[in-house]
């Protein structure tokens, strides 16, 4: 039959020039969450920028507090108060203290902070009794304690998370050089498709692939363009694609990649650019066409709703992630060795079966799976209950109690 293992098709797709990382550019820091950095990012200044106190208390000369106890406190003269945001305007001399709040700069002359809990102030606040000795450096956060000027704070190819963005904000970065996320168009094809409510004419169905794929794109952080649906008409599909390649880095189509009389997508892609098709050794999602039209990669996904989702999972998302600069493009979903709580039966057919399952951690600390129900490629409702795909190898299936690799979807 010449069915191709899905890894082979995926690798061929990932090696297309049109699926390489997009040209890096600087994006607003506020838009950079989840983006991948294109170069190492350096610190131009230290963080913290100045020595400051980690505690509310009193900045002192540690030597003044030697031997202080609750019974025999050392009394110091309070000469100033420093809040966070103040600039010190006075030195701390011997026998003196400055009342100081967390984050305020250390005043010159002081080398330690005594936390307020170890002190007792007199009523007018003019003096403070220190009840414990301080060592030089106590509760002082030095300039550069977190980040030194000149150091790399974020390596290239880092997926930016909230804390990375905070670090960059602390250094004054307004823009961040990243690989942009691909903009992805979604086009449904099929003469039978209609949108929205209203009575269905004979033969019609409502388009469910486009909303599903738009949601998958949103979930993966890719900006999406809704290209609507086109009938099984070469002119209409070609026209929609030709318009979309101008603004989209990638396009997902569904339907029309099988061997039916009105399956035109492969032929259209071949005419507009280049196309490669596969009959994959997987179930669901056997047919796949991938074309390149003017630098834009077009994924011709199958029309059956479960197949479209699985194809997105196995082929489109890895390619889109690679375009967005991810180095582990095909590692979006964690794969675990799960325990089958019930038999996952199948027949030998030369294919890997991607069985929609419900997965949960059990008391033994392992992931356990059971079938999510009906497994037909048109039965999206059962798949909607699934949170994992069990990868059931060719053969008779998996017995209850044995293990099976599973991709965790949530
Ligand atoms: P096709 O890949 O065009 O042969 O379509 C396979 C099956 O998927 C057919 O039953 C189609 O009616 C169905 N189908 C195709 N596109 C969609 C869609 N956008 N939403 C729901 N079902 C679809
Ligand atoms: Mg069709």
Which ligand is in closest contact with the Cα of 379? 1
Query: Ligand 1 in contact with 288 (CB < 6 A)?
Result: no
Query: Which DSSP letter does residue 181 get?
Result: P
**Using CA atoms, how far apart are residues 306 and 365, in angstroms rounded to an integer?**
30
Identify the pLDDT of residue 140.
Answer: 98
Q: Is the pLDDT of residue 101 over 70?
A: yes
Please give the full DSSP string across 64-102, using - where no structure is assigned: GGTT--SSSPEEEEEEEEE-TT----S---TTEEEEE-T
Query: Ligand 1 in contact with 303 (CB < 6 A)?
Result: yes
Nearest CA to ligand 1 atom 14: 303
Query: Ligand 1 in contact with 231 (CB < 6 A)?
Result: no
Structural contact between residues 352 and 310, judged by C-beta atoms closer than 8 angstroms? no
Q: Is the pLDDT of residue 318 over 70?
A: yes
Query: Ligand 1 in contact with 254 (CB < 6 A)?
Result: yes
Query: What is the Å distance from ligand 2's center to 229 Cα?
Result: 12
Query: Ligand 1 in contact with 300 (CB < 6 A)?
Result: no
**Using CA atoms, how far apart are residues 389 and 283, in angstroms rounded to an integer?**
11
Query: Ligand 1 in contact with 302 (CB < 6 A)?
Result: yes
**Using CA atoms, how far apart are residues 391 and 110, in angstroms rounded to an integer?**
65
- Strand 287-293 relative to strand 274-279, pairing: antiparallel
Query: What is the Å distance from ligand 2's center to 190 Cα?
Result: 5
| Each residue's pLDDT tens digit, 334-351 | 999 999 999 999 999 999
Helix, strand, or coil here: 17? helix
| Each residue's pLDDT tens digit, 201-223 | 999 999 999 999 999 999 999 99
Identify the pLDDT of residue 2.
Answer: 87
Q: Once rounded to an integer, what is the mean pLDDT over residues 256-267?
A: 96
Q: Tally the residues of the chain.
A: 410
| Each residue's pLDDT tens digit, 133-189 | 999 999 999 999 999 999 999 999 999 999 999 999 999 999 999 999 999 999 999
Tell me the H-state helices in 250-316: 265-272, 305-311
Q: Once rounded to an integer, what is the mean pLDDT over residues 248-263?
A: 96
Q: Mean of the per-residue pLDDT values for the chain?
A: 97
Query: What is the Å distance from ligand 1's center to 303 Cα?
Result: 4
Query: Ligand 1 in contact with 305 (CB < 6 A)?
Result: yes
100 DSSP β-pair partners = 57, 82
Identify the pLDDT of residue 119.
Answer: 98
Confidence of residue 123 (pLDDT cuts 50, 70, 90): confident
Ligand 1 pocket test, pick from 230, 231, 237, 255 with the greatest ligand atom count within 8 Å of Cβ, gives 255
- Strand 52-53 relative to strand 140-141, pairing: antiparallel
pTM listed for this prediction: 0.94
| Each residue's pLDDT tens digit, 18-61 | 999 999 999 999 999 999 999 999 999 999 999 999 999 999 99
Give the Cβ contact number of residue 2 at 10 Å: 7
Secondary element (H or E) of residue 76: strand 74-82
Q: Is the pLDDT of residue 314 over 60?
A: yes
| Each residue's pLDDT tens digit, 272-288 | 999 999 999 999 999 99
Confidence of residue 231 (pLDDT cuts 50, 70, 90): very high
Nearest CA to ligand 1 atom 7: 304
Query: Ligand 1 in contact with 379 (CB < 6 A)?
Result: no
**Using CA atoms, how far apart are residues 252 and 232, in angstroms rounded to an integer?**
16
Between vectors from CA 232 to CA 231 and to CA 237, what angle results, nearest 5°?
75
Query: What is the Å distance from ligand 2's center to 304 Cα?
Result: 9
Identify the pLDDT of residue 1.
Answer: 55
Angle between helices 234-245 and 265-272 (to 10 degrees): 50
Identify the pLDDT of residue 196.
Answer: 87
Tell me the H-state helices in 187-262: 209-220, 234-245
- Strand 193-194 relative to strand 205-206, pairing: parallel
Which ligand is in closest contact with the Cα of 300? 1
Ligand 1 pocket test, pick from 259, 304, 306 with the greatest ligand atom count within 8 Å of Cβ, gives 304
**Using CA atoms, how far apart are residues 143 and 141, in angstroms rounded to an integer?**
7
Identify the pLDDT of residue 396.
Answer: 97
Ligand 1 pocket test, pick from 195, 203, 228, 254 with the greatest ligand atom count within 8 Å of Cβ, gives 254
């Amino acid at each position: 039959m010449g069915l191709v293992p899905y890894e082979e098709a995926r690798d061929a797709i990932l090696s297309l020039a049109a699926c390489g990382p997009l040209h890096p550019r600087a994006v607003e820091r506020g838009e950079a969450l989840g983006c991948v950095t294109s170069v190492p990012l350096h610190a131009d200044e230290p963080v913290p920028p100045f020595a400051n106190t980690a505690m509310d208390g009193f900045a002192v000369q540690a030597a003044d507090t030697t031997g202080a106890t609750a019974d025999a406190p050392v009394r110091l003269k309070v000469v100033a108060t420093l809040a966070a945001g103040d600039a010190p305007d006075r030195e701390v001399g011997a026998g003196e203290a400055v009342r100081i709040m967390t984050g305020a700069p250390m005043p010159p002359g002081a080398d330690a902070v005594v936390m307020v809990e170890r002190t007792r102030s007199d009523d007018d606040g003019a003096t403070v009794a220190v009840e414990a000795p301080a060592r030089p450096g106590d509760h002082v956060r030095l300039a550069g304690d977190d980040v030194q000027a000149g150091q790399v704070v974020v390596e290239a190819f880092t997926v930016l998370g909230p804390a990375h963005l905070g670090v960059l904000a602390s250094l004054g970065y307004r823009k961040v050089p990243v690989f942009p996320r691909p903009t992805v168009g979604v086009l449904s094809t099929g003469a039978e498709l209609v949108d929205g409510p209203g009575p269905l004419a004979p033969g019609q169905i409502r388009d469910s692939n486009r909303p599903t794929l738009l949601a998958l794109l949103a979930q993966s952080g890719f900006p999406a363009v809704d290209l609507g649906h086109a009938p099984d008409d070469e002119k209409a599909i070609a026209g929609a694609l030709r318009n979309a390649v101008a603004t989209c880095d990638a396009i997902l189509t569904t339907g029309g990649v099988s061997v039916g009389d009105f399956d035109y997508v492969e032929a259209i892609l071949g005419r507009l650019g280049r196309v490669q098709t596969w009959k994959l050794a997987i179930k669901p999602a056997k047919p796949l066409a991938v074309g390149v039209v003017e630098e834009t990669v077009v994924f011709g996904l199958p029309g059956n709703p479960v197949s479209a989702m699985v194809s997105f999972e196995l082929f489109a998302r890895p390619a889109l992630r690679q375009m967005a600069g991810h180095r582990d493009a095909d590692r979006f979903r964690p794969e675990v060795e799960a325990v089958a709580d019930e038999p996952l039966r199948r027949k030998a057919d030369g294919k890997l079966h991607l069985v929609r399952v419900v997965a949960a951690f059990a008391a033994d600390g392992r992931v356990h799976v059971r079938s999510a129900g009906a497994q037909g490629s048109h039965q999206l409702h059962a798949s909607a209950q699934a949170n994992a795909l069990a990868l059931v190898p060719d053969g008779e299936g998996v017995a209850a109690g044995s293990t099976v690799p599973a991709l965790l979807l949530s």
